[in-house]
């Protein structure tokens, strides 16, 4: 009985490990070719697996995009929660944490997350998912900043303005339009200006 000693042994991954592998390949695809090039068939080809296996994990391209955005959001939340807990109880410290964790997560993901975000905005289903995650981020910011606000609290319009500034400044930093440190500082200043401080806070 002969054996092919030159053929590498194929490793069967657990479902979670396979999903992790597929997401890593998907991020590489978006980084190299843009979100428009991302399809389940292309992902299967790049990952060296069958199309049915990829469809079993994500079902549709929208499902894959949502999984990518969900992973990014979870990473951002973990980073922000840990940094907020460790920071001083001052407005400047909380604003710096919000600014730095937002910018750092975008910069870590590079050009991929703007492409995924743009793809999410392409349909009402995906836009709804994106808005739900944005609402969660703004609520987290509201809770962190509320102790430094006046009787009127944090206005919803201010939170939306803060989100818009965060998106614009992080995009500028990711594309080389602004030095990251300058973008972080400007976002922190924007957050501080948005909060109506109590006298003596």
CATH number at residue 23: 1.10.10.60
What's the confidence (pLDDT) of residue 157?
Answer: 93
In angstroms, the Cα distances linking 193 to 50, 52, 142, 186, 189 are 52, 51, 14, 11, 6
Whether residue 38 is found in the same domain as residue 123: no
**Tens digit of pLDDT for each residue in 24-61?**
999 988 888 888 888 999 999 999 999 999 999 998 89
DSSP 8-state class, residue 107: H
User: For 152, which DSSP code?
Assistant: T
Does residue 101 share a domain with residue 32?
A: no
- Asked if the model's pLDDT at residue 196 lies above 70, the reply is no
Q: Are residues 108 and 165 both part of a single domain?
A: yes
pLDDT score recorded for residue 148: 94
Task: Identify the weakest region by mean pLDDT among 135-144, 152-161, 190-199.
Answer: 190-199
Residue 5 falls within a domain, yes or no?
no
Q: Are 181 and 160 in contact (CB under 8 A)?
A: no
- 179 in the same domain as 107: yes
pLDDT at 165 over 90: yes
The number of folded domains in the chain is: 2
Q: Are residues 18 and 86 in the same domain?
A: no
Of 166, 151, 191, nearest to 103 by C-alpha is 166
Domain that holds residue 50: 14-59
pLDDT at 1: 47
Same-domain check for residues 93 and 36? no
Secondary structure of 22-48 in HEC code, one letter for each residue = HHHHHHHHHHHHCHHHCCHHHHHHHHC
pLDDT at position 99 over 80: yes
- Is 68 a domain residue? no
pTM here?
0.77
């Amino acid at each position: 009985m002969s054996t092919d000693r030159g053929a590498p042994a194929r490793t069967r991954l657990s479902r979670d490990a396979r999903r992790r592998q597929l997401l890593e390949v998907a991020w590489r695809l978006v980084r190299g070719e843009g979100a428009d090039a991302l399809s389940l068939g292309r992902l299967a080809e790049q990952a060296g697996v069958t199309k049915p296996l990829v469809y079993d994990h994500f079902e549709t391209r929208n499902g894959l995009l949502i999984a990518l955005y969900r992973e990014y959001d979870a990473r951002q939340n973990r980073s922000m929660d840990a940094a907020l807990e460790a920071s001083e109880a001052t407005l400047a410290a909380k604003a710096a944490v919000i600014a730095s964790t937002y910018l750092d997560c975008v910069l870590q993901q590079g050009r991929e997350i703007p492409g995924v975000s743009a793809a999410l905005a392409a349909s009402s289903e995906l836009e709804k998912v994106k808005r739900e995650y944005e609402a969660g981020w703004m609520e987290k910011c509201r809770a962190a900043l509320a102790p430094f606000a006046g009787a009127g609290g944090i206005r919803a319009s201010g939170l939306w303005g803060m989100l818009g500034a965060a998106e614009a400044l992080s995009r500028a930093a990711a594309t080389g339009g602004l030095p990251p440190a300058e973008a972080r500082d400007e976002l922190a200043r924007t957050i501080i200006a948005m909060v109506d401080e109590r006298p003596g806070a």
